[in-house]
Amino acid sequence: MKYIYQIRNYGEVQTLSNVLIIDEGKILFTCYLMELPYKDNKKNISCIEEGYYTLKKREANENGSRFSYPHFEILNVYKRGGIKWHIANYARELKGCGAPGLNLVDIDNDGNLDVTSSRLALETLWYYLDDENMLLIISG
């Protein structure tokens, strides 16, 4: 099982993280992850709490998912469900999920950093990760 470390930097508009995939002590891949700010773990408006989770691969439209492409689901989230890592560029596109990206850029000139190359980051995560992986989310 590979381990994923998500190291967060909280903000008022969004939470930006560094994600590292580690296998046998070696870093295989790094990217960014954008989430909503932390607002007491409230559904649709907050990122989830820090802690250990299982990150599971989900095929396109699996279990009634609205995503038509492979993505990831975070399991065993306290008082929450359906938390995914999926393609997005802006925090306003998220409802409690996360969007991976390869770079941080203010795409729309609103003063907030956005993630770029989200599809490529998600596809690369898919390539490196197993069906189920241990995810540790911590503050940076």
The CATH code belonging to domain 3-139 is 2.40.440
Q: pLDDT, tens digit, for every residue of 85-138?
A: 999 999 999 999 999 999 999 999 999 999 999 999 999 999 999 999 999 999
pTM: 0.94
Q: Is 21 helix (H, G, I), strand (E, B) or coil?
A: strand
Q: Is 63 helix (H, G, I), strand (E, B) or coil?
A: helix
User: What letter does residue 110 receive in the DSSP assignment?
Assistant: S
Confirm if 67 and 60 have CB atoms less than 8 A apart: yes
Q: 102-107 long-range CB contacts below 8 Å, 24 or more apart?
A: 102/31, 102/32, 103/32, 104/16, 104/32
